Amino acid sequence: MKAKLITPVIAAITLIFGATAIASVGHGKEDIGQPGVSSKVTRTVEVEMGDVFFKPKSIDVKPGETVRFVLRNEGSLLHEFNIGKAAAHAAHQKEMANMFQNGALSPTGAGKMMSDMGHSMGGMKMVEMEHNDPNSVLIEPGATKELIWTFNNTTGLQFACNVPGHYQSGMVGQIDLK
């Protein structure tokens, strides 16, 4: 009986980690830098989020610099801080729209399906509803979170909120390589 249960669980875990790796490659994150570590942080940048804006609108970085972003959501809606190129944001916006349509996210935070994910390994549909990319953080209203990122020499980077409609309403800023 236990052997029959272990195999599906191992398969589900493999699918989850495999999907995460594929998602990372699919968004082109391999060429925008990588998650940083606290001991390498060279400076902290505070970012305020509102409904629907970022402050500041642009951030200068140097190649090799590790930045700690302190992200404060002062708005009444769920927001995202996502580092990437415009094409990656467009692809991620489709995923985010799917997460809202399927109830994994709501306008103010995690939806019912997201909160139940730990209890429902049986549905493989849940794999595509994870929001766990290393270059992205969801911040609920009133919350503050951090993201540490080490930049490489890639140009054309943006920080954006890919919650449906937010990017299109101007919730996007430039990351300028100096």
Per residue in 16-51, pLDDT (tens digit) is: 333 333 233 344 445 899 999 999 999 999 999 999
Structure tokens at 15: 């699918």
The residue with greater pLDDT, 27 or 70, is 70
| 148 close to 35: Cβ distance less than 8 angstroms | yes
- The pLDDT score that the predictor gives to residue 161 is 97
Q: Using the structure block, give the residue that is written with the tokens 């890919």.
A: 162
Measured between alpha carbons, how far is 17 from 129 in angstroms, rounded to an integer? 13
The CATH number assigned to the domain holding 34 equals: 2.60.40.420
**Domain extent for 143:** 2-177
CA torsion angle for 45, 154, 33, 22 (degrees, to 10)?
A: 130
Percentage of the chain modeled with pLDDT above 90: 66
Number of structural domains in the chain: 1
Residue 111 pLDDT > 90: no
Cα–Cα nearest to 134, from 6, 13, 30: 30
List the structure tokens of 142: 């009133």
